[in-house]
Amino acid sequence: MKLTTFGGARDEDVLHWLQDTECIFDQVQLQSSNKYLAIQSYLGDAP
């Protein structure tokens, strides 16, 4: 599974994206405090 960016488009499901993101972060054992830093790179500009 690959982490994708989220831009807030109508066809994007934020809950699905968050679940996928959390799963990937858990697989790599990312600490909670670092999740907030990492997630910023995967948030795109909203349309």
**Domain-by-domain residue ranges, the chain?**
11-41
**Is residue 26 scored above 90 in pLDDT?**
yes
Element (H, E) at 36: helix 32-39
Q: Please give the average per-residue pLDDT across 6-23, as a whole number.
A: 95
pLDDT band at 47 (very low <50, low <70, confident <90, very high): low
pLDDT band at 10 (very low <50, low <70, confident <90, very high): very high
**Is residue 33 scored above 70 in pLDDT?**
yes
43 alpha carbon, distance to own chain's centre: 7
pLDDT band at 44 (very low <50, low <70, confident <90, very high): confident
